[in-house]
A and B are shown apart, each in its own frame.
Chain A
Amino acid sequence: MTATAHTAGQPKGISALGLRKAYGEKVVLDGVDLEVPAGTVFSLLGPNGAGKTTTVQILSTLISADAGQAQVAGHVLDREPDAVRAEIGVTGQFSAVDNLLTARENIILMADLHHLPRNEGRQRADALLERFDLAEVANKPAITFSGGMRRKLDLAMTLVGRPSIIFLDEPTTGLDPRSRRNLWQIIHDLVAEGTTIFLTTQYLEEADQLADRIAVLDGGKIVAEGTAAELKRRIPGGHIRLQFADVHRLDVAARALGQSLRDDEALTLQVPNDGSIPALRTVLDRLDAAQIEAEALTVHTPDLDDVFLALTGNQVPGQVSDNTELAKESLR
């Protein structure tokens, strides 16, 4: 293999070093480093105002960074913006569809702007309408669409140019659970085809479901990075919860298992445990030895919510209201 073939043939993802952006006094990004290998799903996770959208805007050539360097699809961002644009597709937080055109016209508009031959553009439009379940409403203006349909049309428009890298900025915000699952499936399919996905989200479950690697962005800085499992491992707090039929059994079990947290009302025992098979077997063996049977056993491994809370010092998005309710209750 020659040297040129080597550099040209290598798939390229996204890399960024020391990205900074400030609007006046307000620092939005304060030195962000990112590395996204080609063909993987990378999720930028963070609370509102963490700088997720700004990061996407910089990497997708919408705005320029104050400092730092980035390469997207092998092209230096500020030196060859058009080369970058030819490789990427962006689906932002606000749906970028032409409301006055029909779904089909929207997709064909994209085909024309990608300079596809007329027939190929029409064929691709029909294929995408089919794939995204929009064939039946193909000739209805986008203004009549529901949120989920708009998001699908938006993504279909992004795919017309067959981008090698797709930026999805909070793609499922405001969607119902069913539409969200559909979108996840589409993202899975895209990855299977070799597309690189850069996803921002405030939903921990979404990052857990989709991403190969997750970076947690808070206050313009990356505060943690790794796979979902790696991030979870950084947080202590794994336990199992055992439920018993009566107080007597609870007493015996508590003595047999040693250090534990008991709840006499719920008849449960919370035992520190990492949830691994040997650790679970040890617990069950001890119960056997004491001739006690548990009614139920649940394993609690730390989830990304715990990680998020621990790393950002913030409330988990979506649970803010629950926490305030708790606070109110404790005040009463």
Chain B
Amino acid sequence: MSTSAYAVRDSMTMLRRNLKHMYRYPTITLSVAAMPVVMLLLFVYVFGGAIGNGLGLPGASNDRGEYTNFVVPGIILMAVTSGGVTTAVSVCTDMTEGIINRFRTMAISRASVLVGHVVGSVIQTMISLVFVLGLAFVVGFRPNASPIEWLAAIGLLVLLAFAVTWLSAAMGMGAKTIETASNAPTPLTFLPFLGSAVVTPDSMPVGLRWFAEYQPFTPINETLRGLMLGTEIGSDSLKAIAWCLGLIVVGYLWARAVFNRETTR
């Protein structure tokens, strides 16, 4: 078998390891969904009426209902980003325990350790997304996407999940303690707020509006909203894909660089 075939086989072995962790400790997957679920309930039932009214969304007969449709794509993005926290923690746990040194002294594909974590985390994030989306339907989310649009939306979310996960894996690897690792990706989970997730950027002060225009989550959010609810997408789809691919490359290279750095313990 060639080296690259071993790389695939080792990565599958590592993925199985991470899936076993997930299966044995399902609460971790649920905790990924907890934050977006709280946000969803908060924004629909607590702020929904007021914000919906304030934003002047079309179909004003039911502000809360319209606002639910507006806010769910943003909540879904938060569900993806909150998956990053568990990635960082599980990578950091591996790095701070002896097991990583065992892997390093074995003749295995070095990338496989990371690939196993990342693919495992993306799967975990997708499972938690199903929870969040299910609850969104219960509280009144009514998308009008065609099957093709659903597929496109899922594709975009998988891309985003890979981007978030690679970045978080790099953060987790660089972190000295589990606490640091769990805090490092937190800013990512708040980035959607500073875009078009909960309000339209038009309603923000100039500086913040400028930031919202140019940060990655705004085009991703707009594309997702367009796919699910039929709003205008325009050039946002290309920007969204470019951002995701760019972040995947950055996250991957960063993670690899940290992983190959020598242990000094």
A62 cross-chain contacts in B, Cβ below 8 A: 101, 104-105, 262-263
Determine whether A82 belongs to the interface, using a CB cutoff of 8 Å to chain B. Answer: yes
B102:A100 contact, CB within 8 angstroms = no
A161:B98 contact, CB within 8 angstroms = no
Within 8 A of A (CB), among B90-131: 97-99, 101-108
Determine whether A301 belongs to the interface, using a CB cutoff of 8 Å to chain B. Answer: no
B108 cross-chain contacts in A, Cβ below 8 A: 113
Query: Which of A63, A97, A105, A154 meets B20, CB within 8 Å?
Result: A105
Within 8 A of A (CB), among B59-113: 97-99, 101-108
Determine whether A101 belongs to the interface, using a CB cutoff of 8 Å to chain B. Answer: yes
A244 to chain B, nearest CB (A): 56
| Chain A 154-179: CB-based contact to B (< 8 A → 1; otherwise 0) | 10011001000000000000000000
| Chain A 54-72: CB-based contact to B (< 8 A → 1; otherwise 0) | 0001001111100000000
**Contacts A57-B263, A94-B97, A113-B10 given; does A82 touch B107 at CB 8 Å:** yes
A114 cross-chain contacts in B, Cβ below 8 A: 106
Complex Cα–Cα for A97 and B93 (A): 12
B21:A100 contact, CB within 8 angstroms = yes
Within 8 A of B (CB), among A92-149: 92, 94-101, 105, 109, 112-115, 141
Q: Which interface residue of A61, A90, A98, A154 has the most chain B CB atoms within 10 A?
A: A98
B106:A95 contact, CB within 8 angstroms = no
> Interface residues of A, CB < 8 Å — how many?
33
A85:B107 contact, CB within 8 angstroms = yes
A15 to chain B, nearest CB (A): 19
B5 to chain A, nearest CB (A): 10
B99:A64 contact, CB within 8 angstroms = no
Complex Cα–Cα for A327 and B1 (A): 65
B107 cross-chain contacts in A, Cβ below 8 A: 82-83, 85-86
B106:A113 contact, CB within 8 angstroms = yes
B98:A97 contact, CB within 8 angstroms = yes
Q: Which interface residue of B21, B106, B262 has the most chain A CB atoms within 10 A?
A: B106
B13:A61 contact, CB within 8 angstroms = no
A82 cross-chain contacts in B, Cβ below 8 A: 107
A96:B20 contact, CB within 8 angstroms = no
> Interface residues of B, CB < 8 Å — how many?
25
Complex Cα–Cα for A287 and B226 (A): 107
Complex Cα–Cα for A212 and B99 (A): 30
A101 cross-chain contacts in B, Cβ below 8 A: 17, 20-21
A98:B105 contact, CB within 8 angstroms = no
Within 8 A of A (CB), among B127-157: none
B6 cross-chain contacts in A, Cβ below 8 A: 115
B103 cross-chain contacts in A, Cβ below 8 A: 113
Look across to chain B and name the residue whose beta carbon is closest to the beta carbon of A114.
B106
Complex Cα–Cα for A57 and B101 (A): 9
A96:B263 contact, CB within 8 angstroms = no
A92:B263 contact, CB within 8 angstroms = no
Look across to chain B and name the residue whose beta carbon is closest to the beta carbon of A109.
B17
B20 cross-chain contacts in A, Cβ below 8 A: 100-101, 105
B98:A100 contact, CB within 8 angstroms = no
Complex Cα–Cα for A157 and B103 (A): 11
B98 cross-chain contacts in A, Cβ below 8 A: 92, 94-97, 154
Determine whether A41 belongs to the interface, using a CB cutoff of 8 Å to chain B. Answer: no
Determine whether B9 belongs to the interface, using a CB cutoff of 8 Å to chain A. Answer: yes
B74 to chain A, nearest CB (A): 33
Within 8 A of A (CB), among B20-34: 20-21, 24-25
A112 cross-chain contacts in B, Cβ below 8 A: 13, 16
| Chain A 28-65: CB-based contact to B (< 8 A → 1; otherwise 0) | 00000000000000000000000000000100111110
Complex Cα–Cα for A83 and B105 (A): 11
A114 to chain B, nearest CB (A): 8
Look across to chain B and name the residue whose beta carbon is closest to the beta carbon of A150.
B98
Complex Cα–Cα for A250 and B212 (A): 98
A10 to chain B, nearest CB (A): 21
**Contacts A94-B98, A100-B24 given; does A115 touch B9 at CB 8 Å:** yes
Q: Which interface residue of A61, A100, A157 has the most chain B CB atoms within 10 A?
A: A100
Query: Which of B13, B97, B104, B106 meets A99, CB within 8 Å?
Result: B97
User: What are 25 A-to-B residue pairs whose CB atoms are below 8 Å?
Assistant: A61-B105, A62-B101, A62-B104, A62-B105, A62-B262, A63-B264, A83-B107, A90-B101, A94-B97, A94-B98, A95-B98, A96-B99, A96-B102, A97-B99, A98-B17, A98-B99, A100-B24, A100-B25, A101-B17, A101-B21, A112-B13, A113-B10, A113-B103, A114-B106, A115-B6
Known A83-B107, A88-B105; further 17 A-B contacts with Cβ < 8 A: A23-B264, A61-B105, A62-B101, A64-B262, A85-B105, A85-B106, A86-B107, A90-B101, A90-B102, A90-B105, A92-B102, A101-B21, A105-B20, A112-B13, A113-B103, A154-B98, A157-B102
Interfacial residues, chain B to chain A (CB-CB below 8 A):
1, 6, 9-10, 13, 16-17, 20-21, 24-25, 97-99, 101-108, 262-264
Top 9 nearest A-B pairs (CB, nearest first) are A96-B98, A96-B102, A94-B98, A85-B107, A86-B107, A112-B13, A90-B105, A82-B107, A60-B105
Interfacial residues, chain A to chain B (CB-CB below 8 A):
23, 57, 60-64, 82-83, 85-86, 88, 90, 92, 94-101, 105, 109, 112-115, 141, 154, 157-158, 161
